[in-house]
Amino acid sequence: MPATSADTPITERRQLVEVLAAGEKPRDAWRIGTEHEKFGFRLDDLRAPTFDGERGIEALLKGLTRFGWTPYDEHGHVIALHKDGASVTLEPAGQLELSGAPLSTIHETCKEVGSHLREVREVADELQLGFLGMGFQPKWARDEMPWMPKGRYKIMRAYMPKVGQLGLDMMTRTCTVQVNLDYADEADMVKKFRVSLALQPIATALFADSPFTEGKPNGYLSYRSHIWTDTDPDRTGMLDFVFEDGFGYERYVDYLLDVPMYFSYRAGEYIDASGKSFRDFLQGKLDVLPGALPTLRDWNDHMTTAFPEVRLKKYLEMRGADSGPWNRICALPAFWVGLLYDDAALDAAWDLVKDFSMAERHALRDGVPQHALKLPFRDGTVLDLAREALKISHAGLRRRARADACGSDESGFIDTLMEIAEAGQTPAERKLELFHGPWKGSVDPVFREFAY
């Protein structure tokens, strides 16, 4: 059996593989973990709140403890909250993230999201703050964004400019919604990984909602997605090896071992190991920790520092979507659950993508940030793919037949995506229409009309 203590030293590569295999679950134990990020802003001047101060992010976190959240601090600063398997955490510029508990149905997920947003709204109103769900900060420049006092972010902030032009924008000015889903065994993981990686650009297109930079159109519909193309090539991308024969846990471990490190967390401190090799660490040859071997905590931390379009930990993370309003936060997990948690839907989704060439997968990934649903693909467009994927997902949700107290199944949660596909217009394109029309060339109204 694999060792489970976070402080267990890693002495052989097999232990790393066992971490991924430990994620295997029988179908009746499959869960849905939904995460979303959102931008805070001060109601009077629309600027992002700082960490400290009477109206700061720390004050918001402390205010949320009235709802039973337990605070977690780092060097005397409250930087996170925990309750019932869920957490509230901070991205580098104070973007507030809910990492939801593993839940059985989309009904439960949507209830969790709604409860969280009500709690945030109550405390934020007292602090004269608002929150906005979009993929990219529409108004403020990078140097106008605050930084949160978290040790790992200090290390990443120094390292990012060495490996890409847009990594600091990724840290400070982006927000996403993602879902974490389970697998039964290695073969199930491989099939779900391939399907979700091939279809991730379709999710990016449907959820595209980041058309503004510093108050002006930026030429993209999902600028957040574009940012990942110039963040750090060692830890991002479409992972072509996932589609190669023989792919499995061991091949993913090899990939992770080649991802440069950021840090090791020891005795309450983040040790800067940016750019260094985890393979050296396994041999006790990490110069910043001479003779030390990595622990399972080090490995679990390291797995979170790879940023591909789909990420494997003890579950699969769908990472392609811009953040958005409440109904799209619920729609993202519904879309992927419908595709991946029903066997017939998974088979149909694989049939849809199995003959995509590597060049086609990359063309989708590279073209969708700018063109979204209108990107040409084969004899049609991404919109055609999106409509087909939505039809498969909807049928999968119907077959899952997970009803709420009123007898409704989960398929209604993707209605908002069906509407986007029917209209052929992304959320970004709708906002651009408003910008050029009623908003008269200003992005300021977005903070009023689209706030939670």
Q: What 3 state SS string does 141-163 have?
A: CHHHCCCCCCHHHHHHHHHHHHC
Q: Please report the pLDDT score of residue 5 as a whole number.
A: 79
Q: Please report the pLDDT score of residue 4 as a whole number.
A: 60
Q: Please report the pLDDT score of residue 365 as a whole number.
A: 98
On whether the pTM is more than 0.85, the answer is yes
Which among 27, 393, 431, 433 is positioned nearest to 209, based on CA atoms? Answer: 431
User: At which residue do the structure tokens 């190991």 appear?
Assistant: 273
Q: Please report the pLDDT score of residue 1 as a whole number.
A: 40
CATH code assigned to 13-259+306-449: 3.30.590.20
The sign of the CA dihedral 316, 321, 324, 325 is negative
CA 304, CA 300: separation in Å to the nearest integer? 7
Per-residue pLDDT tens listing for the chain (452 residues): 444 678 899 989 999 999 999 999 999 999 999 999 999 999 999 999 999 999 999 999 999 999 999 999 999 999 999 999 999 999 999 999 999 999 999 999 999 999 999 999 999 999 999 999 999 999 999 999 999 999 999 999 999 999 999 999 999 999 999 999 999 999 999 999 999 999 999 999 999 999 999 999 999 999 999 999 999 999 999 999 999 999 999 999 999 999 999 999 999 999 999 999 999 999 999 999 999 999 999 999 999 999 999 999 999 999 999 999 999 999 999 999 999 999 999 999 999 999 999 999 999 999 999 999 999 999 999 999 999 999 999 999 999 999 999 999 999 999 999 999 999 999 999 999 999 999 999 999 999 999 99
CA 120, CA 69: separation in Å to the nearest integer? 12
For residues 193 and 20, is the Cβ–Cβ distance under 8 A?
no
Angle between helices 382-400 and 186-206 (to 10 degrees): 130
CA 36, CA 19: separation in Å to the nearest integer? 25
**Per-domain residue ranges for the chain?**
13-259+306-449
What's the gap between Cα 261 and its chain centre?
20
Length of the chain equals 452
Largest CA distance in the chain: 63
Which among 332, 343, 405 is positioned nearest to 32, based on CA atoms? Answer: 332
Residue type, 417: L
Which among 304, 308, 323, 420 is positioned nearest to 372, based on CA atoms? Answer: 420
Let me know if 197 is exposed, middle or buried by CB neighbors in 10 A (0-12, 13-18, 19+). Answer: buried
The SS3 call for residue 236 is strand
Q: Please report the pLDDT score of residue 225 as a whole number.
A: 98
Residue type, 435: F
Instruction: Dump the DSSP string for 190-215.
Output: HHHHHHHHHHHHHHHHHT--B-EETT
CA distances to 115, 277, 315, 394, 411 from 256, rounded to whole Å, are 36, 10, 15, 34, 36
